[in-house]
Amino acid sequence: MDEKNHIFYVTDHGKQKIFSYHLDSVLADPSYKPVEKLNLNELQFPNKYVLLNDTLCIGQIIEPTGSYGFNQSIAKWNINSGEITPMKYTHPEIERKRVSFAVSKENGIYVECYHHHDLFTICDLDGNLKYNIYGRKWDSTTSNAKQYFGDVVICKNRILASYSDGKERGPTTDDLPTQLLIFDLKGDYIKTLDIGYRIMDLSYDDRNNRLLMHFDDIIQFGYLTLDNNLLN
């Protein structure tokens, strides 16, 4: 989302292109067609990205390795030129990185939560490490057999991350997280919220101060109002 200019971007990995949509035109004109923003490099492309300004993003970059494998990293990405600049820090003990990430321009940080390691990392917007936060089940084994963190968002001065606590992964979605862990911006643990539904994605609605959630469960969408009592 580019909230300043009322534009949202959609990545089409089949066409290897990014399309831009002007929100007002989408709502007003049923025949509206998007604008082609950028051609993607098939050997190195963003999977998810957050705008810092009109040009620069912080993104999750995918580099395919062979027919099905890939490497993953966090980088600065110029959405106009396509230039990618990797961030400085990556954890030295993790061989195969699989993460979700969130960015806070206001607090000058981004957070990486590891799917298959009991770990999340807080860095500044230049990629300098601030904190590594290790869970009680941390190890550096290269495996996708267990699920730890899912999605993550930064809500004002709190980090909220969905968490599976090392559930064994299987053919169903039973390993999806049903809990939210709440931390401050230094990674200090505050509390755990039991949501009771299998969480797929999180999004923060800052205007209404609420957490929007996408579930794979008996309901598909829900929200949680984030008052001070809930976050402290």
State the amino acid at position 8 in one-letter form. Answer: F
Provide the domain count of the chain. Answer: 2
Pair 7, 96 in one domain: no
Res 120: pLDDT: 97
Res 82: pLDDT: 87
Pair 36, 116 in one domain: no
Domain carrying residue 136: 90-232
Nearest residue to 126 via CA among 73, 56, 76: 76
CATH number of 228's domain? 2.130.10.10
Let me know: does 167 contact 174? Beta carbons within 8 Å: yes
For the entire predicted model, the pTM comes to 0.92
Pair 136, 155 in one domain: yes
CA pair distance 153, 165, nearest whole angstrom: 18
Res 115: pLDDT: 96
Pair 77, 112 in one domain: no
Res 174: pLDDT: 87
The list of the chain residues with pLDDT below 70 reads none
Pair 206, 225 in one domain: yes
The mean predicted confidence, pLDDT, of the chain is 93
DSSP string computed for 106-165: TTTEEEEEESSSSEEEEEETTS-EEEEEE-TT-------SEEEEEEEEEETTEEEEEEEE
pLDDT in tens, 82-124: 899 999 999 999 999 999 999 999 999 999 999 999 999 999 9
Res 80: pLDDT: 87
